[in-house]
Structure 1
Amino acid sequence: MMKGVEERICEEMRPKYYGLCAIGGMLSAGTTHLAMTPLDVLKVNMQVHPIKYNSIASCFTTLLREQGPSVLWRGWAGKFYGYAAQGGCRFGLYEYFKSLSSDILVDRNRSLVFFVSSASAEVFASLALCPFEAVKVRVQAQPPFAKGLADGFPKLYASEGILGFYRGLVPLLGRSLPFSMVMFSTFEHSVDFLYRNIVKRRKEDCSKAQQLGVTCLAGYAAGSVGSFISNPADIIVASLYNKKADSLMLAIRKIGFLNMFTRSLPIRMLLVGPAVALQWLFY
């Protein structure tokens, strides 16, 4: 038994294992975010133009009337490639840093292992996502800016240089770091809770369908909690990229403290909860 466990641990410590985790993260995050593009278009426009679009229904009908059905898929390339890059770093590096942290931190600090590992991975994941997010948000909220990534990247570089791609890096980290830390920690603890108190069996003793069911429930809980925690920073990112404010503090003052937590929150939870559940399922 011990030999089998040691062989499994050695297998998980190999670069091939982390590479497969990264590929799994790329495919799961890229495809799920691509599928959620219409909801993301509504969310971004409600964040950037809150007076014009004061509800999900009004945003949906107004966009369709003014720009046609194709508007719901604006920015799809930025969603797919950007979040694929983020997902590869987020999941692959999380597994890598978790193995390192587990060797350094004692067992009673499991939550600390999850927080440290996810935060470390998310720094690299946000750096990978930031340029794609800069173009995507403008394509979705400013139709005249560009049609997509192909013309959006060179246009943004020509007008603002390399710094234009990282204008929202600080609030993006403010959104992604707490989200990733809460998401991974909530997922890991939810899985433990479900197996111990609901299923009342070890994972190894459950069928594949039961394991996937636990994964989906834990993933949805993780996405919902994470979306609430990170909503303020998400709104600030959209505001900065669309030049509704020139600085972080000005954006906070213009948006308002309460609005940072409530604006577009229902649609974001509708967007993020299922997306994270599907990511864990595919992963």
Structure 2
Amino acid sequence: MSSSDTNSKFLGYYEAAQGSSFPFGPFSRHAQCQAGQEQHQQPEHRLMMASTSDEVKVGTLKYYALCGFGGILSCGITHTALTPLDLVKCRIQVNPEKYKSIVNGFKVTMEEGGVRGLGRGWAPTAIGYSLQGLGKFGFYEIFKIVYGNVLGEELSYLYRTSLYLAASASAEFFADIALCPLEACKVRTQTKPGTSPLLRVVAPEIMRSEGLAGFYKGLVPLWMRQIPYTMMKFACFERTVELLYKHVVPKPRDQCGKGEQLTVTFAAGYIAGVFCAVVSHPADTVVSKLNQDKGSTAGQVLKKLGPIGVWKGLTPRIIMIGTLTALQWFIYDAVKVWLRLPRPPPPEMPESLKRKLAAKQQ
């Protein structure tokens, strides 16, 4: 395949890309390009500028693998660091009579297990969410390109938000299959009294008592929680970035320094995280209760909790997910810079679509 064919193949992806963290990352080497120069460049020329000779080529196995590695660090580090907050959140969900609030939850947990007790469940969290991050970000990059090529550059530009939603939902579907067994172990050790804090003890215990099904009985509620969360995470984040630069930041993005771009990145991630938490919280409560109560089903848990009970623990989850989402975008973008992965420029209407619109106006 010639170089021009390769450029044409991935041009639709670059034009469709609304950025994720790519075009505005705090360490972007392309962020300082002048807007006037970008407007006069041909699409092929801009594509070549976005991927220099020392960068990994978009669409290669190496590119996808390194994106997955960025996802491992992004999700694994952040979720593990917030294990204490996640622990309290889960306990509020499954036992609100004992753990009445965030402050009370931390107090009771400290009284029962000391500081060490706050780290309960860190091992399945680290492993599980690292695997989930691998699938979430790695498959997202794959599906974004595949769906973009199917739509073509014009439809990819016009319906780019739908493209992000579809790609992120597809990626999360597979990522949760990897996460689910570790999530079952995590919730069991955090919420069921008498359960060992050691992953090597909890996992065999679940296998002996419930078989393989015990690891996956929460998969459907996990999909119900994580797929809407991830769709919101990607789409809301990108739209929020656009709005912040349009209405809040007093100058164009390409004129902002690294610190300013990082501030916008973190703010957009946190705002997106708040929406993510609200959308996915009822299913998160069901997952927590399912893995606490042996032999229960999602329907039985929903009936037991009622319309009010599914919202228990929302405040700590908003804090946790907002922080997680903001930090994940920052880490993922920083890893892409470190590994010299190309980051597409902001979307621009394809020339063919501009000509069609101009012709209709005549």
Q: What's the secondary structure of 1:50's corresponding residue?
A: coil
The answer as to 2:241 corresponding to 1:191 is yes
Q: Report 1:253-272 matches (<5 A).
A: 253-260=303-310, 262-272=311-321
Q: What's the secondary structure of 1:52's corresponding residue?
A: coil
- How far 1:196 sits from its partner (Å)? 2.7
- Deviation readout 1:248-278 (Å, 9 max, x if unpaired): 1111111111221x31000100111011101
Greater relative contact order (Cα 8 A, min sep 6): structure 1 or 2?
2
Q: What's the secondary structure of 1:224's corresponding residue?
A: helix
The corresponding residue for 1:57 is: 103
1:102 aligned residue (105, 130, 148) = 148
Unmatched runs of 5 consecutive residues or more in structure 1 = none
Q: Report 1:184-223 matches (<5 A).
A: 184-199=234-249, 202-223=252-273
The corresponding residue for 2:29 is: none
1:225 aligned residue (262, 266, 275) = 275
- Deviation readout 1:165-222 (Å, 9 max, x if unpaired): 1010010000001101111110111122222333365544433222222211111111
The answer as to 2:72 corresponding to 1:26 is yes
- Deviation readout 1:92-140 (Å, 9 max, x if unpaired): 1112111222223312212211110010000011111101000000111
One-letter identity of the residue aligned with 1:40: D
Q: Report 1:1-283 matches (<5 A).
A: 1-2=41-42, 3-7=44-48, 8=50, 11-105=57-151, 106=155, 107-199=157-249, 202-243=252-293, 246-260=296-310, 262-283=311-332
Matched residues, percent identical? 40
- How far 1:244 sits from its partner (Å)? 6.9
Structure 1 residues 5-14 or 83-92, which shifts more?
A: 5-14
Asked if 2 retains the 8 angstrom alpha-carbon contact of 1:21 and 1:92, the reply is: yes
Larger gyration radius, structure 1 or structure 2: 2
Q: What's the secondary structure of 1:252's corresponding residue?
A: helix
- How far 1:34 sits from its partner (Å)? 0.9
Distance 2:82 2:60 in 1: 34
Number of equivalences: 282
Q: What's the secondary structure of 1:73's corresponding residue?
A: coil
